[in-house]
Chain A
Amino acid sequence: MYQKDFNEGLAHLTANEYLVLAGTFHGVHAITSKISPAGTSFLVECDYFYSINVSFLITGTKFLILADPTHPNIDLVLRRTYDVYSDYVMKNPFYTPEMPIRSELFDINIVKLIKQVGS
């Protein structure tokens, strides 16, 4: 799991709480697909301040972005995140799958990506 704040405004939680939330999310997704088969995208609208955008990969990896609901192109951001992820995490020979991501290059590039789409 990897988590990073880019903006103030949401309640700050501990790493453990994020783990619990991520776990919850996994379960929720499993159930939503039982109600009606869910595809590769998932969006929770909450409040009018932010929404949770998720994309799923076949491998089970999930990317979540909490963003302003009026943001025009979150799907693109998610796809670009995946690009960064595959470039700097999956192609890193020292990365062990399922382990927390500790890669400086990944950090740098994610920040770069968010700054790009945020401006």
Chain B
Amino acid sequence: MGSNNAGTASATTSMNGQPDGDSGGSSSSPAHSAVANNHLASHHSTASQLTSATSMFSDSRLVNIEEESKLVYGVVRTLRNLVNKLSGNQDGFISYRTSTYKLHYYETQTGLKFVINTDPSTESLRPVLRQIYTNFYVEYIVKNPLAPVGHPGGEGVNNEYFKAAVDKFVKNLSAFD
């Protein structure tokens, strides 16, 4: 899967620093330890485009996954606040798109934030993020008695089942082809 077909979809061009390039999967980490319940689950699908993108922006592009989740968290939070302020109601922010990628955003009632980066032409993946929450997060994290409550010490969701399930799910999406 490491060299998928031209990486049209689901191609976030980022290094996730994991040794196995094909796992791609999901890793999530709390970007803000002060807010116990808010964390990000960001997905990274390594694509073949990666090399070209990184070579162009060699220095500034090489942020690791920890760094990046903090950045994403900051962006998403500011944008959400901005949007809510402009429109005056809650839950207004859906996605943003630049000419190189699109970031889909889903927030649960409890303030959990789910984020996925894709190709800019992808249609809305909010239902997908919702499914990830209900089918995988609730199943593998919330229902797991051994999972820590909140994310103490800035530790992310570190559950093999969750990672594997999300990985498989995302790779089977029509948008991933």
Contacts and interface: CB of A to CB of B under 8 A. Distances in A.
Interface of A: 10-11, 13, 17, 21, 24-25, 27-28, 31-50, 52, 66
B168 interface: no
Interface of B: 12-14, 53, 56-57, 60-61, 63, 68, 71-72, 74-75, 78-79, 82-83, 85-89, 92-101, 103, 117, 124
Q: Main secondary structure on chain A at its contact with chain B?
A: mixed
26 contacts: A10-B87, A27-B78, A28-B78, A28-B82, A31-B74, A31-B75, A32-B96, A34-B60, A35-B14, A36-B12, A36-B117, A37-B57, A37-B100, A38-B98, A39-B99, A42-B96, A43-B98, A44-B93, A44-B96, A44-B97, A46-B83, A46-B86, A46-B94, A47-B92, A47-B94, A50-B87
A90 B101 CA distance: 32
A39 B57 CA distance: 13
Contacts, number: 101
